[in-house]
Chains A and B, each alone.
Chain A
Amino acid sequence: NAGVTQTPKFQVLKTGQSMTLQCAQDMNHNSMYWYRQDPGMGLRLIYYSASEGTTDKGEVPNGYNVSRLNKREFSLRLESAAPSQTSVYFCASSERGLGSGGGVDTQYFGPGTRLTVL
């Protein structure tokens, strides 16, 4: 079991370039998440997907788009990168899905992608 995998591990972009961060999980989880982590800011939710075919905005969605390609994969796209998007990006997954009722569950995180936008 690889858990949650992310590619690439590191990336340097120039302002205005685009790129897609890839995430995959092999735990048959329903929910997937994208976070960014900045120094002194903790983790902030960018987008999430409660099930295959659905995506929703989190706290900081501006400048990003996502695709839930299938149950395993959830990608994050930067259409026109800006220096303010320099950050470490984490993908996570959890078991619950839409209509799973009350309660919360455990999120499993990938190793992260360190992105620098010049």
Chain B
Amino acid sequence: LAKTTQPISMDSYEGQEVNITCSHNNIATNDYITWYQQFPSQGPRFIIQGYKTKVTNEVASLFIPADRKSSTLSLPRVSLSDTAVYYCLVERAGSYQLTFGKGTKLSVIP
């Protein structure tokens, strides 16, 4: 399964758009990408999932280029409550093969 690489940490000011990129160079045709958010002392929580191009929901957007070797989670106008660790997950459809990235710690500064 594809190995994933994410930045260890990022800082952003309140109100800015934040983009977190995950690299997955060896992604396979039937692999999907999912992003999770984790607050301290809690379990991860689903944010968004996609296969290709762009997916948007009420909290985030996910951009996946045509070659699918990376994906970018976009958080519009972040607030202090978005301070958390964000994980990308590559998961093979129809199987239980999955790999989480090591997480990106996002700190939102007032």
Contacts and interface: CB of A to CB of B under 8 A. Distances in A.
A42 B43 contact: no
A9 B41 CA distance: 10
Contact of B87 (A42, A92, A110): A42
A98 B92 CA distance: 14
A112 B98 contact: no
- What interface size band does chain A fall in? 20 to 34
B110 interface: no
A102 B94 contact: yes
Interface of A: 4, 31, 40-45, 48, 50, 56, 58-59, 90, 92, 101-104, 106-112
Given A107-B44, A109-B44, 8 more contacts: A42-B102, A50-B96, A58-B96, A104-B34, A104-B91, A106-B46, A108-B46, A109-B45
